[in-house]
Amino acid sequence: MGGETIKDARHIKTKINDVKKPNDAAKTASAGAPDAANPAGPAGIEKPENAGLSGQSFSAEVPPTYAPPKRLDRYIAEDLRLFSRAQIKARKLAAFVNGKSVKISRLLSGGDKITLFWEKAPDRIVVPENIPLKILYEDERVVVVNKKTGMVTHPAAGNWNGTLMNALLAHKKLEAQEDVRSFIAHRLDKDTSGVIICAYTKEAVFFLSSQFKKRAVKKTYYAVVQGEPLEKQGVINKRIRRDKRDRKKFEAFDSPAPPTQNGENAGKKAVTRYKTLKTFAFLDRKYSLLTLRPKTGRTHQIRVHLRSIGVPVLGDPVYGFKDRIFSGLPLMLHAARLCIRIAPGEDPKIFRAPLPKRFRLFLKKAAKQRKTPV
């Protein structure tokens, strides 16, 4: 069966078969999957066997003036916003450029015609779970929660239960749903505690998300770090990219580099302001309490930035140093304050989450130690 030609916000000519394009569903039309009598996908390209009859397809044309060349997987994730790079692998995506089968690392240029096939995601139902929540604010549009450490924001591979979304479904007395990401306006890492805002309507999600995208939201975090910053306060202005040696990690670096031959760019701009409040000495080690105000919102931004200046967050299992004094301590990072508008025409509201127990216990213990002048 054929698909319906559309144009997305980037003026990319696209055709979709049997799928609503993520993040742009309102602009797409659904059509049936190819059947045995019509195995061809878009532009008459034969559908690969591993996609199956339940698979889905998508076609697009790169704008003629598009430059510089970019890897196909990055183009899918960043320009088309069809899948994340992790999802591309999980969906066993098969790619064709100008009618020829290509690897996902293939560089794209202006005018290239793309056809993609992938496996349909297995249906996963998110069920309500009676999990206690600390509600800071709630109305018919939004809810603000003081998230506890160890709680994942939304269900995903490996974490289908015990998430904030499971808890919110029960809190709102809603039935099980297939897609609860529509609640999400922003995220906190699993082990980061503190203020997070979610939405109950699509309009509210769009309004909140647009403020984060425009960097109109003011966020304040507290962190206990290993060591003492060389400067008591400052701005960490380092770009962040995925670690080439470990794709689950990120790395910060000082200066941007031009795109490389394989299409990788110089990461994303990231800016974090910090200020040292106190520094404590425990035996032969130092620890510092910082306030942080990230201007951007990159994945792991605060944790990566602090590691890059030699003071990782205490309790960080990914970016931290081994610590014999506070071994086993949870991540000492807390989203303490959020300033955001919750409805058009209203003034910004400020939401605060008090210091959690793990911070209070640390500070109580630190108060008994000799303080280093700061």
Domain ranges of the chain: 4-118, 135-213, 218-372
Q: Sign of torsion, CA 46 31 2 89?
A: negative
The CATH fold of domain 4-118: 3.10.290
> What are the C-alpha distances in Å from 210 to residues 17, 271, 343?
29, 19, 12
And the tokens for 221? 């975090």
The domain 218-372 belongs to what CATH superfamily? Pseudouridine synthase (3.30.2350.10)
Segment 45-97, tens digit of pLDDT: 444 444 333 457 888 899 998 888 899 998 988 888 788 777 787 778 899 99
Query: In whole angstroms, what is the distance from residue 52 CA to residue 118 CA?
Result: 9
Query: In whole angstroms, what is the distance from residue 262 CA to residue 84 CA?
Result: 18
Query: In whole angstroms, what is the distance from residue 319 CA to residue 332 CA?
Result: 12
> Averaged over 114-129, what is the pLDDT?
80
Query: In whole angstroms, what is the distance from residue 330 CA to residue 321 CA?
Result: 13
pTM for the model stands at: 0.69
Please give the DSSP secondary-structure letter assigned to residue 72.
H
Three-state DSSP at 236 gives strand
Please give the DSSP secondary-structure letter assigned to residue 48.
P
Q: Which active-site residues does the annotation give? A: 189
Segment 216-270, tens digit of pLDDT: 999 999 999 999 999 999 999 999 998 888 878 999 998 655 555 444 557 889 9
Whether the predicted pLDDT of 43 surpasses 70: no
Greater pLDDT, 11 or 361 = 361
Q: Which amino acid is at 242?
A: R
State the pLDDT at residue 123: 61
State the pLDDT at residue 335: 98
| Percentage helix, strand, coil for the chain under 3-state DSSP, each rounded to 5 | 20, 30, 50
Q: Which residues of 312-321 are buried (b: 16+ CB within 10 A; e: fewer)?
A: bbbbbebbbe
And the tokens for 299? 């994945």
Angle at 146 between CA 154 and CA 275, to 5 degrees: 105
And the tokens for 30? 């659904």
The CATH fold of domain 135-213: Pseudouridine synthase (3.30.2350)
Segment 182-224, tens digit of pLDDT: 688 899 999 999 999 999 988 999 999 999 999 999 999 999 9
All residues at 6 or more sequence positions from 15 whose CB lies less than 8 Å from its CB, including other chains:
2, 3, 4, 5, 6, 42, 58, 59, 60
Query: In whole angstroms, what is the distance from residue 25 CA to residue 145 CA?
Result: 28
> Is 218-372 in the same CATH topology as 4-118?
no
Neighbours of 289 (CB within 10 A): 20
And the tokens for 165? 């979304």
> What are the C-alpha distances in Å from 352 to residues 145, 213, 288, 363?
10, 21, 22, 19
Neighbours of 74 (CB within 10 A): 18
Q: Are 118 and 76 in contact (CB under 8 A)?
A: no
Cβ-defined contacts of 177-184 (< 8 Å, 24+): 177/125, 177/126, 178/123, 178/124, 178/125, 178/126, 179/126, 180/126, 180/154, 180/155, 181/154, 183/154, 184/153, 184/154
Q: Are 274 and 290 in contact (CB under 8 A)?
A: yes
